[in-house]
């Protein structure tokens, strides 16, 4: 990143605020492309009276209120419960592929971000990171996904999409929130029944 390409600060990709700033601590989740079917997401959005997530750069059609925030939180819970049930191909359950993801996450730790906690689940990945100056989250996640997709497709002898095109990120507000996110990531394999 160059001085003419600064951090964005608070901005929107259309559905909730994002923070792009040096030393921002962020909780990030990205998923395999088949972990939560698009039709199911659309049905849940309809049930919760939420519009579809707009394309990047387009304004949200639902104004932000406490009610829509609660509905978005309900949608996030449904998605988390569904993905923890292990739907989709679950390629990340293969230790070789989980190792590829681990390698990608650790590669720029201390250079582009500080990795505080992470967990590779069978069909999604949770990461708690602090961004370092000069590096945007969008570029970091793009590098993780492109490296792991190429390596995984090569290993499996397949082509096509591996990851959902977007990812979920949330700014960590304070130490209590940090501890809660860290605990959630550590307990996710337990909650999903993958370990004790």
pLDDT of residue 130: 96
- pLDDT number for residue 21: 74
d(CA 166, CA 64): 20
- DSSP letters, 7-41, are --EEEESSSSEEEE-TT-EEEEEEEBTTSS-HHHH
Quick check: 61 pLDDT over 60? Answer: no
User: What integer pLDDT is reported at residue 52 of this predicted model?
Assistant: 53
Highest mean pLDDT among 18-27, 71-80, 133-142: 133-142
Tell me, which fold does domain 9-36+88-191 have in CATH? Alpha-Beta Plaits (3.30.70)
Sign of CA dihedral 124, 74, 177, 81: negative
pLDDT bracket for residue 59 (50, 70, 90): very low
- pLDDT for res 68: 62
Q: Could you tell me if 114 and 83 are in contact, meaning their C-beta atoms sit under 8 angstroms apart?
A: no
Q: Where are the domains of the chain?
A: 9-36+88-191
Three-class SS of residue 42?
helix
- Predicted TM-score of the model (pTM): 0.77
């Amino acid at each position: 990143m160059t001085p003419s390409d600064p951090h964005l600060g608070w901005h929107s990709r259309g559905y909730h605020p994002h923070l792009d700033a040096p030393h921002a601590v962020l909780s990030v989740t990205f998923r395999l492309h088949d972990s939560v079917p698009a039709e199911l997401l659309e049905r849940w959005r309809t049930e919760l009276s939420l519009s579809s997530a707009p394309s990047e750069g387009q304004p949200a059609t639902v104004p932000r209120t406490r009610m829509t925030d609660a509905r978005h939180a309900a949608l996030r819970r449904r998605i988390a419960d569904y993905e923890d049930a292990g739907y989709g191909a679950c390629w990340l359950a293969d230790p070789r592929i989980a190792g590829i993801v681990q390698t990608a996450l650790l590669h720029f730790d201390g250079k582009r971000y500080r990795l505080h906690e992470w967990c590779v689940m069978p069909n999604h990945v949770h990461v708690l990171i602090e961004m370092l100056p000069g590096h945007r989250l969008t570029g970091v996640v793009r590098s993780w996904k492109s490296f792991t997709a190429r390596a995984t497709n090569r290993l499996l002898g397949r082509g096509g999409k591996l990851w959902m095109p977007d990812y979920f990120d949330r700014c960590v507000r304070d130490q209590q929130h940090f501890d809660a996110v860290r605990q959630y990531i550590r307990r996710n394999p337990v909650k999903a029944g993958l370990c004790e």
